[in-house]
Structure 1
Amino acid sequence: MNKKVAFYTLGCKLNFSETSTIARSFEGEGFERVDFTEKADIYVINTCSVTDNADKRFKTIVKQAQKVNPEAFIAAVGCYAQLKPQELADVHGVDLVLGATEKFKITDYLNDLAKNDFGEVHSCDIDDADFYVGSYSIGDRTRAFLKVQDGCDYKCTYCTIPLARGISRSDTMENVLNNAREISQQNIKEIVLTGVNIGDYGKGEFGNKKHEHTFLDLVKELDQVEGIERLRISSIEPNLLKNETIDLVAKSRAFVPHFHIPLQSGSNAILKKMKRRYLRELYVDRVERIRSVMPHACIGVDVIVGFPGETDAHFLETYNFLNTLDISYLHVFTYSERDNTEAADMEGVVSKAVRRKRSKMLRGLSAKKRRAFYESQVGSTRTVLFEGENKQGYIHGFTENYVKVKTPWNPELVNTLHEIQLTEIDSDGLVRFEFVSELQLQD
């Protein structure tokens, strides 16, 4: 009988792409992959440490695995495993913890799957994480996450990612294109480009500073890959989102008009304390540039509330800035102290209650922004890619500019592209539509 392995991923799209690559290495060793809710011989948890909540969830997930199979071997990998390996190893039931350089070699550490008396740790100094491992995920038939870059050279005062993932380094252009072609051959219609700081693409494969290619070079080449209907850029720093990239997306064959651009604060004083590499004036310029060439584009924004020293005046500056900005939705993060970051030692700590209140206000603003964006799209003709899940009798999909639509469940629509006209916003905030043509655009 084949041994069975199950995976649980916390955190970002990048983690999902890496979990998928690790899973393929297990399959190459003869393991059968099963769902995390099923009985397995080994459970692998890919951890995140961006938020306090992700840390806390780890213990709960370990208990879930133990409940299904008390004898199972449990391994932890990922950012939290690099930052606090002993803390994870001390969690009851954890047998193996692998740091940043070891996670892709996990099968080498599995001599047998007997439970350990204590968690075994194999982690490195993060300065040793100077090599690149390419990854992509194929969990969802309609969409794949393709990793193009890893690590970060920025020194934002609240962030542990450089400590968890090391210096900025990129995949070779050849590898990225080969991975994209492999994905395209599996009837996947959309690729989302992921990384820690993808606009920094071009740093050498081993972290050297010689730029062989730029992010613009990569976007141009990927746009030519046959078989991929859609390419989507995930989060990209405003200072690295160049006019040439915006213009290329506007004229592109496959890149869709959807940008996710971290802001973090609408107050220049707070941006400086965060050591961000731009001020709010540049952010306005980026939004205006996108709107000038793609008026229908979807623009998402990351923002952090409750950073040390953020007064009511600073927060209102952020709120008012976002309220007047022509954006489509927000991802709101409540600041949480992270060990070994500058911000953790800063004065002016904002109380948890105030952080929650500010977060709630911005989430309300996000709902208002999304509604206004959806309303602006009613009556327009778009292309939708349908997802694969039956949710309460409906099938959902996303237009190229990230409007979420719904229609009664029809399994024949799964993973297909159709031209539609958006007609009305339903009571749940999603958009109903009519097919412009019953003819499918792509097979």
Structure 2
Amino acid sequence: MQDAKSVAFHTLGCKLNYSETSSISRLMENEGFVKKGFTEIADVYVINTCSVTENADKECRQLVRRIQRKAPESIVVITGCYAQLKPQEIADIPGVDLVLGAAEKFNITRHIKEIAKGDSAKICSCDIEEVTGFNTSFSLGDRTRTFLKVQDGCDYNCSFCTIPMARGKSRSDSIANVVKSAENLAANGAKEIVLTGINLGDFGKGPNGNAPVSIHTREENFFALIKDLDAVEGIERFRISSIEPNLLTNEIVEFVANSQKFMPHFHIPLQSGSNKMLGMMRRRYKRELYAERVGLIKTLMPHCAIGVDVIVGFPGETDADFQETYDFLHGLDISYLHVFTYSERDNTHALSLSPVVPVNIRHERNKTLRNLSYMKMQYFEAQHAGQTRKVLFENHIKNPQAGGAATQGMMEGYTDNYIRVNVPYKKEWENSIVEWAL
């Protein structure tokens, strides 16, 4: 390119998407692109999409319209899960120039050079069955914590989920590559690494980016990975972003309990506290196993934070089923909930299930569980009042006042067990771990 072009990014969805956006950004900057903020005028806008909920789809369309109003001559590129699932639907959005599926997102610079504004939207996608490679991704420089992708895809077939259709089969990086990435991140000043993936506990399956090995010849698993990462020098904290209850083994829990580097914090998807609903969702466990996992964690680490994913309004969920979920969660020693309102997704088994729960009831149930989540977090924080815990403060100012002086702003950090702390900004605390009285 003769002139340096500018590019702006926006990410929808999960931590895995954030890690991939960050890696795509570095690829483009290495090719000479100048990175800008998404609210600025840029030559190219890249939106990395999610398609877990209907809202994510709507937000993508709204973002494209916003770009069209402020920068009608700019190139708009859509990638991510929504782009893989519905490429033609996205290509039909006025203003979209390029749609990149799962196999092409890391070839973005080549594709951008081949298009011009005003041409018909170009779709570069393939059948998801053909997506077999693994691309290492991590966020860097965006914040103190970095998200490191170690696994992608999913072999599960939950009846509500489109992720296997958007991401393909389960596949992983090698332990050696992950350790190398962690060492590089340590050299770049990262203090905390959050391990991310679509089905993290499935780590070890599938080929990695360097060696097309059969899954039958890979003798690596998630437990082996965390043991090796625990020995990496320079990284003070690791977190496990999310792990299925049936893949969270006793040895993993016991290892975290005895580790100085793996934080006492688990995020474990539940989706429903009703065994009937878990069966309809095609989940691979029952609520009794979930309760057992939570019980073991709290026995070994009473101070441990436990987050839970829950879906409300799934087809067939009666008032009694929802009450069963509420009562189950109320009685569990957990810290907070991520509550998702069920939304219909094309080509999923759930579309054939009935009766359909009215949308207004779905929203009522969501509100009920969000209130429970608030109470759970208040109780969890109150249990630790007066304790001194280590807080890693992030390297940016929150809500600086109009005067511009850094001391007028606030800074944010998290304790080892994921309690958020807001304090007046201090430069010397940026990217530092500080003993803090709660």
Q: Same fold (TM over 0.5)?
A: yes
The more displaced of 12-21 and 136-145 is 136-145
Q: Which amino acid aligns with 1:156?
A: C
- Cα offset, 1:249, TM superposition: 0.6
The more displaced of 368-377 and 107-116 is 107-116
CA distance in 2, matches of 1:9, 1:207: 31
Aligned residue for 2:195, secondary structure, equals strand
- Cα offset, 1:112, TM superposition: 4.7
- Deviations 1:115-136, CA, capped at 9 Å, x for gaps: 1332111110000011111111
- Cα offset, 1:344, TM superposition: 1.3
Q: Which amino acid aligns with 2:185?
A: I
- Deviations 1:420-441, CA, capped at 9 Å, x for gaps: 221xxxxxxxxxxxxxxxxxxx
Aligned residue for 2:308, secondary structure, equals strand
1:294 aligns with 2:301: yes
Q: Which amino acid aligns with 1:108?
A: R
The more displaced of 387-396 and 307-316 is 387-396
- Deviations 1:249-289, CA, capped at 9 Å, x for gaps: 11112110000000000000000000000000000000011
Q: Which amino acid aligns with 1:389?
A: I
Partner of 2:7: 5
Q: Give the structure-2-normalised TM-score.
A: 0.94
Q: Give the structure-1-normalised TM-score.
A: 0.93
1:414 aligns with 2:430: yes
CA distance in 1, matches of 2:113, 2:415: 47
Listed as ranges, the matches of 1:107-146 within 5 Å are: 107-112=109-114, 114-146=116-148
Partner of 2:236: 229
* Contact 1:145 1:193 (C-alpha < 8 Å) held by counterparts: yes
CA distance in 2, matches of 1:313, 1:49: 29
CA distance in 1, matches of 2:357, 2:325: 16
Partner of 1:438: none
* Contact 1:305 1:333 (C-alpha < 8 Å) held by counterparts: yes
2:398 alignment partner, one of 390, 400, 403:
390
Partner of 1:212: 219
Partner of 1:366: 373
Listed as ranges, the matches of 1:90-109 within 5 Å are: 90-109=92-111
Q: Which amino acid aligns with 1:286?
A: R
Partner of 2:405: none
1:65 aligns with 2:33: no
CA distance in 1, matches of 2:418, 2:115: 44
Partner of 1:84: 86
Stretches of structure 2 lacking an aligned partner (at least 5 in a row): 401-408
Partner of 2:51: 49
Q: Which amino acid aligns with 1:337?
A: E
Q: Which amino acid aligns with 2:29?
A: E
Q: Which amino acid aligns with 1:239?
A: N
CA distance in 2, matches of 1:98, 1:18: 13
* Contact 1:142 1:188 (C-alpha < 8 Å) held by counterparts: yes
Partner of 1:74: 76
Partner of 1:23: 25
CA distance in 2, matches of 1:253, 1:112: 50
1:403 aligns with 2:419: yes
Aligned residue for 2:253, secondary structure, equals helix
Aligned residue for 1:238, secondary structure, equals coil
- Cα offset, 1:292, TM superposition: 1.0
Listed as ranges, the matches of 1:343-354 within 5 Å are: 343-354=350-361
2:387 alignment partner, one of 356, 372, 380:
380
Partner of 1:315: 322
Q: Which amino acid aligns with 2:294?
A: V
CA distance in 1, matches of 2:398, 2:83: 35
CA distance in 1, matches of 2:213, 2:374: 40
The more displaced of 109-118 and 13-22 is 109-118
- Cα offset, 1:379, TM superposition: 1.6
* Contact 1:151 1:167 (C-alpha < 8 Å) held by counterparts: yes
Q: Which amino acid aligns with 2:424?
A: P
The more displaced of 223-232 and 204-213 is 204-213
CA distance in 2, matches of 1:298, 1:204: 31
CA distance in 2, matches of 1:420, 1:399: 8
* Contact 1:90 1:118 (C-alpha < 8 Å) held by counterparts: no
Aligned residue for 1:368, secondary structure, equals helix
CA distance in 2, matches of 1:152, 1:208: 16
- Deviations 1:370-411, CA, capped at 9 Å, x for gaps: 000000011212100112222363222110000111222223
CA distance in 2, matches of 1:108, 1:331: 38
Partner of 1:202: 204
Deviating 4+ runs (over 4 angstroms): none
- Cα offset, 1:139, TM superposition: 4.1
- Cα offset, 1:111, TM superposition: 2.6
- Deviations 1:82-139, CA, capped at 9 Å, x for gaps: 0000000000000000111011111121235521332111110000011111111114
Partner of 1:429: none
Aligned residue for 1:397, secondary structure, equals strand
Stretches of structure 1 lacking an aligned partner (at least 5 in a row): 423-443
* Contact 1:131 1:207 (C-alpha < 8 Å) held by counterparts: no
Listed as ranges, the matches of 1:173-212 within 5 Å are: 173-205=175-207, 206=212, 208-210=214-216, 211-212=218-219
Partner of 2:403: none
CA distance in 1, matches of 2:264, 2:304: 5
- Deviations 1:341-377, CA, capped at 9 Å, x for gaps: 0001211100001000000000000000000000001
Corresponding pairs, count: 422
* Contact 1:41 1:113 (C-alpha < 8 Å) held by counterparts: no
Aligned residue for 1:8, secondary structure, equals strand
CA distance in 2, matches of 1:396, 1:37: 23
